[in-house]
Structure 1
């Protein structure tokens, strides 16, 4: 595999991207468009637009905003039409125009443009230089939103200035009185504007008014500029939809996720309403309002957390029970580093199957006595995998104390208290890696957890720069052959099913993800990159904070080798597939143990259009790798590329080339 994404597509080249996403300069408002030809855009919209949503167009010239969302040009509905939008505008005469349509909304307070959905075809729409069509041709030509030559791609946008608050209901979150314990509850969440103005004399008045009108079909007079959608992971369809008048039912063992997009999170409260049907209700009778609670913005100061809230009876205003809600707050990556020129967020070429991915570079070093002779997750290990034909290398990234992304797998390390050739029981101190700065990690004598517990050092070549542990992510992006792709696994401590934590991280999750994304967007250039993580919320953040690189959900699956997670989305391929579909991820990274036990689970993902990678110790076998490729797995992550890969590799200095077998995959 020598050419991906930026270089792979017909007529696509790296030179078409004049700057890296990370090199954006301060944006200025373009002057009034001036052009030599008048052009009329017309587009048919088959999607149901929500309140505050509209259609816009952007492209590669100043008149169309140079791909920047805030400089786009909004379209208008044609007279007498409910779904055809148009725009007449002057365009440059001697320039081939490329453009995209997208669904957007505008914050009425700040006038910031929010990208709701956008066309993600690798090649955008084009008006050629000699495409000065007649007025009649322009009147009859109608594009279809999201559809270019039969290829339909209209994906969720990314956060430009808005924030998403996600509320999650799972693990039987309602504790209510016995008489209603077994009734089906419906959950509805309504964002409420807390901004006090001349029309609202007090906060209490505002809340009283909103409560008294919460069952109106058209909502309340004080709803915020916001978009609310909900998905049930218990539903095989698993797509976010608008909530109905009486909310979404919560079934036992269900997993409900509410996404609320808001522009000013500090000024928005959330009314949680519960509805249920009376035991004596008639067939055509709607559910009645059982209870409610307000979530004020000061409850949501952290990026994630658990809320245990009382449920107040809607009729008698007395305590009715309790409910437990887990929340996630996703903030935009600022300054914005993405635009609408090109996106690979769900792009995968059909030729890319059976890719060989080097696990932690050339493989794990500390699992067994036959571990790799090169220390894992080092520049040397990554280079060695590339030299032996790796299409991609997989490695783990986490932050040092001073917020520098470094490549390392374990949460804890051992630090030597004495400089000795032999190690004794009291010569080492176990520390969380996050408690050391990059300088300390580089200068102290640091041992892997296995070395520390066994008091036996395994590697003595750390005086060589490329063999040193804790290489910076930025260094890997600059030093590894750019034709080799990166599968960057974000290390994040999760809660286990028994209630314990893998590690006590003290980082804010938004800050954590932002620090890693900024390095990638600045240093990646044209390298193909896929993010992955075992934490579904981190995957959500990675997906919503940028629109350039795809994200895959790492799944533990059903296994006895590792403890299960508290979040059930990671504990089975079925739930992982539904979560990936709902969040619009590229696909899943499945545990091979799961796939070998039930091969039909591969189809469970691919039939939904998802890409499937696989990981696990079972992959370290030539026959297993061959079998997984025959199942249509898109990429297999395994150790010791030099032993298990069936590629013929010729190495000449820095120029490592793989056989035609590798190149034939793209």
Structure 2
């Protein structure tokens, strides 16, 4: 017997590991996928050869020579000593000389989003490359007979959205009144880079873009221009028709253009007059240019002249724009995504509003006894069985995400029973640094001079205090426990992610100023929106762990941006709809539940968070949203009633956000559903491991190890890593089940 044979199994494994590391096996990937000219199919996975889940390092497949075929394939040498997981995606390959930084870039257009990726087991037989032995190819998006495909997110490209609503086009000539006018948007490269013309063709020749007779044989791929209209038929983005879209009064039209070089791209808008007879082609009557100098901010409005073909002004076009850029210095993994996943058991969830509830209402009996949006409030809601807690996040002056609802904070320079106007300062939270906010949290024991904007405030023990705006009329804080750290306002988002029970989900509402219908704003001069969101998203992506996270915002563009900037967490559109309680907003997408449904489908987000006032006015709107496949939450003061909460759950809503969960919650066991399911899944996992350890099931039947491995991969586990040694006919292998929420806990989710 050789020396190696005398060694223990563990020692033998250690001896062969160095050589196993370099062993490779040929693996052929074959998949059927529908693409348009310019798109390619890629494969990405959990090993270096497949890019370690990074889209920028994915492997590009080759298309079958048959022009009618949709088969793509490639051969990759994979490591022989590890299980390989992988996904396919459809993307656009950008040559190095075209990319901004001179390196190749891959734009993700559509990707497979099943919770469990495809896999190749370590004990799989070597692939035989013979054509007859290949078997059936994979079908793009279909994994274990379930199809799950989502649009991509931003990797290196920039998205420009041009929004047309509220009668944006004014033509001054009477002969155009009542006529059908269509609009078509074409990106124009002002730099006129010759290499980009050959590799990424698009119409830079104005005469060609205005041609009304020649039909383009194939759609242009890059820069990519798509259009959507906020109605049930056209709310998903699609390619433009030859003569664009005929605009109708009252419509909300959205053009979306994906570009690489924002600073050198202009946007040509052509206007066509449609004749009374369909036989005659539309007539070009004018055009407008939206130059890159107009798009200086992340969002704004542009008013541009409409010029006739004779170079005379004939009208003007009002466009509201949005510029969405990828998160700076951050790359999203393709290993997992929960952006459109929701388990059927997650129905009627109890969501604690700002933790244990709002602290400042006229009805004192409905106010929480703990200050809202504090760690203490969130923890107390969790102890009373909240499945998720909802809270508000905004940035301090020094760009730290903090929890606070209002855009302004009221500061009293003196503590006394009656305050006059000179004793109070109302300051925007964005004008105070984190240190300044935290110095305001409680009465300081030492005397300091705080410099707030242009004001100097003495923060000695008997002077400075922070008040909610509704407390400022009396100057008396209703809370006496703010000397405890968890009870103090302005906790950072990172700390909240780290200290609150990880089994409690977070509904993170992003605060951002909204324009009202009268033209005013809730807050003026905010931060740059791309930077604002990047900072918040990085904190969550880096510190959330395996916690369930749902983002939400009242601003429809913010929901769009969160969805485009990351591929992991779901987004819900907060909408007030038809209401008598609040002033209407400027954006029509906020005006009704049906418009919110259209926006959710247009932005490819998880669902909507509706105002209960609107639901109680017309409950059929809930069915409209549910039937369209959306997840639906609700919010509002009407929820603070046991009978209303029960009614809303009976309507089928997935989550109800309400105050005083300690009073209105009805759970017998005060635990979140995620903790209950994690415990059940962990018990199932331990039972399976125990059976495999004995080699037999509880009935004495030998265990099929391959089947049980698959069972293990579909089980949810606890918040801590779980390791088990599983017996296999006298041999042994280690199976480490990592990361709660990864793969298995969403195995029963419906996309």
Length-normalised TM-score, structure 1: 0.89
> Which of 472, 478, 498 is residue 452 of structure 1 equivalent to?
472
Contact kept? 1:167, 1:327, Cα under 8 Å: yes
Corresponding residue for residue 129 of structure 1: 122
* Distance of aligned partners of 1:478 and 1:661 in 2 relative to their CA distance in 1, 3 Å threshold: closer
Confirm whether residue 147 of structure 1 aligns to residue 146 of structure 2.
no
2:28 aligned residue (40, 43, 46): 40
Are 2:115 and 1:119 equivalent residues in the alignment?
no
List structure 1 runs of 4+ shifted beyond 6 angstroms.
Answer: 218-221, 656-666
Instruction: After TM superposition, list the pairs within 5 Å mapping 1:161-180 onto structure 2.
Output: 161-177=156-172, 178-180=174-176
Structure 1 unaligned residues grouped into runs of 5+: 1-32, 201-205
Q: Is the CA contact 2:225–2:256 (under 8 Å) kept in the aligned structure 1?
A: yes
Q: Distance in 1 between matches of 2:150 and 2:203?
A: 36
Q: Say whether residues 1:259 and 2:256 are aligned partners.
A: yes
The match for 2:323 is 329
Q: Tell me what 1:228 maps to.
A: 225
Q: Does 1:379 align with 2:365?
A: no
Answering whether residue 283 of structure 2 is matched by residue 288 of structure 1, we say yes
Q: Which residue does 1:569 correspond to in 2?
A: 589
Q: CA deviation at 1:210?
A: 2.1
Aligned to 1:399: 395
Q: Which moved more, 1:444-453 or 1:383-392?
A: 444-453
Q: In the alignment, is the contact (CA less than 8 A) between 1:312 and 1:319 conserved in 2?
A: yes
Larger CA deviation: 619-628 vs 136-145: 136-145
Q: Is the 8 A contact 1:387 1:657 kept in 2?
A: no
What is aligned with 1:501? 521
Q: Distance in 2 between matches of 1:433 and 1:481?
A: 27
Residue by residue over 1:284-306, the C-alpha shift from the partner in whole angstroms, topping out at 9 and shown as x without a partner, is 22211121011111111111110
Residue aligning to 2:554: 534
Q: How large is the Cα RMSD of the aligned pairs?
A: 2.6
Q: How does 1:178-327 map to 2 (within 5 A)?
A: 178-197=174-193, 209-211=205-207, 213-215=209-211, 217=214, 225-278=222-275, 281-314=276-309, 316-327=310-321
Most deviating of 392-401 and 173-182? 173-182
* In structure 2, distance between residues paired with 1:248 and 1:453: 54
2:632 equivalent to 1:612? yes
The Cα of 1:208 is off from its aligned counterpart by 8.8
**1:253 Cα offset (Å):** 0.5
CA distance in 2, matches of 1:35, 1:240: 46
Bigger radius of gyration among the two: 2
Q: Does the 8 A contact of 1:192 with 1:224 survive in 2?
A: no
Post-superposition offset of 1:134: 3.7
Q: The residue matched to 2:535 in structure 1 has which SS?
A: helix
**Correspondences of 1:475-554 after superposition (within 5 Å):** 475-554=495-574
Q: Among 313, 328, 339, which residue is 2:333 paired with?
A: 339
CA contact (8 A) 1:107 1:225 kept: no
- The aligned counterpart of 2:647 is 627
Contact 1:213 1:219 in 2 (8 A): no
Contact 2:415 2:475 in 1 (8 A): no
Q: Which range moves more in the overlay, 448-457 or 134-143? A: 134-143
Secondary structure, counterpart of 2:258 in structure 1: strand
Contact in 1 for aligned 2:577/2:591 (Cα 8 Å): yes
Shift of 1:282: 2.3
The answer for the alignment partner of 1:24 in structure 2 is none
2:412/2:475 contact within 8 Å kept: no
Give CA-to-partner distance per residue, 1:121-173, whole Å, 9 cap, x none. 10011112222244457522211111113311111111111100000000110
CA displacement 1:13-48 (0-9 Å, x = unmatched): xxxxxxxxxxxxxxxxxxxx9752211111111x3x
Superposition deviation, residue 661 in structure 1 = 10
- Contact kept? 2:161, 2:256, Cα under 8 Å: yes
Aligned length: 620
Task: Specify whether residues 135 and 106 from structure 1 end up closer, same or farther in structure 2 by C-alpha distance, changes over 3 A only.
Answer: closer
* 1:533-562 per-position Cα deviation (integer Å, ceiling 9, x unaligned): 000000011000000101000011101100
Deviation at 1:518, TM superposition (A): 1.1
Q: CA deviation at 1:649?
A: 4.0
**SS of equivalent to 1:543:** helix
Q: Find the counterpart in structure 2 of residue 94 from structure 1.
A: 81
- How do 1:339-358 and structure 2 match up within 5 A? 339-358=333-352
CA distance in 2, matches of 1:207, 1:79: 28
Shift of 1:571: 1.2
- 2:57 alignment partner in structure 1: 71
Q: Which runs of 5+ in 2 are unaligned?
A: 1-20, 197-201, 441-464, 682-744, 746-751
Shift in CA distance, 218/191, structure 1 to aligned 2, threshold 3 Å: farther
Secondary structure in structure 2 of the residue aligned to 1:594: helix
- Aligned CA distance change for structure 1 residues 272 and 650 (closer, same or farther; 3 Å): closer
2 CA distance for matches of 1:389 and 1:537? 33
Residue matched to 2:434: 438
Q: CA deviation at 1:663?
A: 7.9
CA distance in structure 2 between the partners assigned to 1:85 and 1:474 by the alignment: 44
Displacement of 1:454 in angstroms is 4.1
Q: 1:58 aligns with which of 41, 44, 63?
A: 44
- Whether the 8 Å contact between 2:516 and 2:584 is mirrored in structure 1 is yes
**In the alignment, which residue of structure 1 is the partner of 2:728?**
none
Greater length-normalized contact order (CA 8 Å, ≥ 6 residues apart): 1
